Amino acid sequence: MLKFLRINANQKTAIFEEVKEEYKFFGGRSLIAKLLNEEVDPACNALGVDNKLIICGGLLNGTIATTSGRLAFGGKSPLTGTAKEANVGGTGGAAFGKLGLKAIVIEDMPTDNEWSIIKISKDKVEFLPAAKYVGLNNYDLAAQLRKDMGTKISILSIGGAGEKGYRNSTIQVTDMSGNPARAAARGGLGALMGSKKIKAIILEDNGIANAEYEDKEKFIAAHRKFVEGIKANPVSGQLLPTFGTAALVNAVNGLGGLPTLNYSQGRWDKAEMISGEKLAEVQQSRGGKMGHACQPGCVIKCSNVLHDANGKYVTSGCEYETIALNGSNLGIDSLDFIAKVDRLCDDFGLDTMDTGATLGVCMEGKKIAFGDEKGALGLIEEMMAGTDFGKILGAGTDATAKYLGVKRVPTVKGQSLAAYDPRALKGTGVTYATCPMGADHTAGNSLGAPGVDPYKKEGQVALSTNLQVAMALIDSLGMCIFASFCIVDPANVCHLCDMMAAKFGGEWNPDRLFGLGVQSIALEKKFNKGAGFTAADDRLPEFMYTETLESCNSVFDVTDEEMAQAIPF
C-alpha cells in the first residue's frame, strides 16, 4: 500500500500514514492542488511557517509505464503567490516508487534555524545535521552525499539560491549518473525548501517498485501499444531522440516566435548557431551524447549530455527554453556560453528560464549590453555572491525590471515567459495568461497544433483549454508531457484508458481520463481565488498587445473577454 509521509521540520518528526480512499485518483499535480486547498491557507506567506512543501509521485508512479518516474514538487509559489507544481525527471520518481510513497508533506519551520538532511528509507526517516553541507552548491553537495551515504541514493537538493531564499530558485534531482542536473525549476520552490531549513532529501534507491495492479497483464499489453504509439509519432519517436528539444530553435525561429533581444524580435539570423542540429554536430566531435534518457525507463530519450572543447562533462539536459532565453534572447550565439549558464544554474539552483529573462531585462535596461557574455556571467556570479544587486536579480524578472525601470517585462503573474513569443503563437499566449501557475509552456503549448492558424486569434482559447486539460492530466499521471504527443491519435487515448483500468479497476473512457486534468486546474483556480487572484491577472505583458512583432506582423489580440472563456471550470 502507498503511504503519505508527513514531516514536521520544526519538531523533526516523521509519521507514515495510510492513504485515504479519497486520494485514490489524485497524483502529482492534482494531488498537490488538493492538498494545498485542504491544508494551506492561500493567503499565507509563501516563505512563512504556514506554507507546506509537497512532493508527489503521479498516479502511474512505480508502474512499468514509460516516463512515469517524474516527481512533482509543489506549494504556494514564493515567486508568483499562486498554487504551484513543478515536476522533474531524474531518479527521484523511481526511488519514490520503490519506497512505496504517494506523497511527502513537509510543514512548519525550525525555530532554532538549524539545517537538516532528511534521509528516507523503507519505513524509516532520519534527520541528520547539515552543518557540513550548508554552503555547498548542488554538484559538490551531491558528490559529498554520495561519498558519505553511498551511491544507491537519489538526492533532492537546493544550492545557494534556495539557501538565500531567492524566488527564482530550483530544487535539483540527481540523474542516473549522480549529477544534480534535473531541475524542478519554476516558481521558486527551492526557496520554499530552504525556508524549512532542509538542504537535501535523500531517498534510498534500493530494491524494486512493487506497484499494485488490478490486472497487470492487461496493463502490460495496453502499455506496449501505448509505447508503439509514442515511437510511431514523428516528434516523440524521431525528432526528439535525434536532436532533443533543441530541435525547436530552427522551428520556432522559422515561425517568427523565437525570443530575441528581450522579446523585441521574433527571428534571429544567428539561430542556426544555437540550433539542435548544431548542438548534435558539436557534441558528436566532443564525445557528448544526444538521445540520453533523463529518467529510468524512458523510451523517448530527448535529453543530452554536453561536453566542452576538451571533452569534459559540463551539463546534462540543456533544453530549448534554456538555449533560447540565454541565447537569442540575449543576442548570444555561443552554445558553450549557454552550456556554462545551464551548469551554473543547476549548481547554484536557479531557474534557467527566469535567469535568461532577467538577464534580458538587464540588457534592455543597459545594465550590460546585448551580446555581452562576460557581463551576463558576471550577473549570475553576483547572484551567487549575494551582492545587493545579486539579491534583486534573485527576486526574479519582475523585481529586476522594476529596479531598473524597464517597461518591456516578459512575465505573467511574476513568472517569466518561456521561449515562445505569444504574438506568433497565440494559443501558447492564452496558456501563459490563464494557466493558474503563471507563464508555464508545459501547461499547454500550442506549437504544431493542427487546424489552428498560430498567428490568428480564432480558435486559440478552445485550443489552449484543451491543451491545458491534457497537460494537467499528464502531470497528474506523473508522465513526461512528450509522451502525450501520441494522444492526438484516439487509439492511443484508448490505450491510456486501458492502462488506467488495468491499474485501478473500473471503466475508463476519455471523459473520465481527461476529467483528472479538469479537477487539477479547478482546484488550482480555487486556491488562487483564495490568494486574491482574479481574471484581471490573466493577462500578458502590456507590450505584447501594443508592439507589433515584425517577424509575423502581429500583436496579441485575444481580448480579456475572450480570455475569460479559457479553462472555465
Mean pLDDT of 537-541: 97
Whether 266 maps to a domain, the answer reads no
How high is the pLDDT of residue 383? 98
**pLDDT exceeds 90 at position 164:** yes
Alpha-carbon distances of 83 from 73, 437, 460, 529, rounded to whole Å? 11, 6, 24, 10
Query: What is the pairing mode between strands 116-121 and 198-204?
Result: parallel
Whether 300 maps to a domain, the answer reads no
Mean pLDDT of 385-391: 98
Whether 112 maps to a domain, the answer reads yes
**pLDDT exceeds 90 at position 123:** no
Whether 117 maps to a domain, the answer reads yes
Question: How confident is the model over 292-329, as pLDDT tens digits?
Answer: 999 999 999 999 999 999 999 999 989 999 999 999 99
Nearest to 369 by CA among 342, 332, 398: 332
Largest CA distance in the chain: 62
Rounded Cα distance between 396 and 167, Å, is: 6
How high is the pLDDT of residue 471? 98
**pLDDT exceeds 90 at position 381:** yes
Cell numbers found for residue 268: 534571429
Q: Residues in the chain, how many?
A: 569
Nearest to 283 by CA among 324, 326, 312: 312
Question: How confident is the model over 252-264, as pLDDT tens digits?
Answer: 999 999 999 999 9
How many domains, the chain? Answer: 1
Indicate which CATH number applies to the domain containing 150. Answer: 3.60.9.10
Whether 82 maps to a domain, the answer reads yes
* Phi and psi angles of residue 339, each rounded to the nearest 5 degrees, phi first: -60, -40
**pLDDT exceeds 90 at position 520:** yes
User: What pairs with residue 558 in β-bridges?
Assistant: none
How high is the pLDDT of residue 165? 98
Mean pLDDT of 365-369: 98
Domain that includes residue 133, residue range: 3-204
DSSP state of 235: I
The string of DSSP codes covering 321-337 is HHHHHTTGGGT---HHH
Question: How confident is the model over 420-477, as pLDDT tens digits?
Answer: 999 999 999 999 999 999 999 899 999 999 999 999 999 999 999 999 999 999 999 9
How high is the pLDDT of residue 514? 98
Number of CB atoms found within 10 A of residue 425's CB: 29
Cell numbers found for residue 283: 557534441
**pLDDT exceeds 90 at position 131:** yes
Q: What single-letter amino acid sits at 411? A: T
Nearest to 524 by CA among 421, 399, 419, 413: 413
DSSP state of 236: I
- Mean predicted lDDT score pLDDT of the chain: 97
Whether 309 maps to a domain, the answer reads no
**pLDDT exceeds 90 at position 14:** yes
**pLDDT exceeds 90 at position 206:** no
Alpha-carbon distances of 245 from 277, 290, 405, rounded to whole Å? 11, 11, 34
Nearest to 568 by CA among 532, 528, 521, 530: 521
How high is the pLDDT of residue 208? 84
Whether 105 maps to a domain, the answer reads yes
Question: How confident is the model over 392-421, as pLDDT tens digits?
Answer: 999 999 999 999 999 999 999 999 999 999
∠ CA(85), CA(144), CA(69), 5° rounding? 35
Cβ pair 143, 330 in contact under 8 A: no
Residue 334: pLDDT band (50, 70, 90) is very high
Nearest to 498 by CA among 299, 209, 93, 217: 217
Whether 493 maps to a domain, the answer reads no
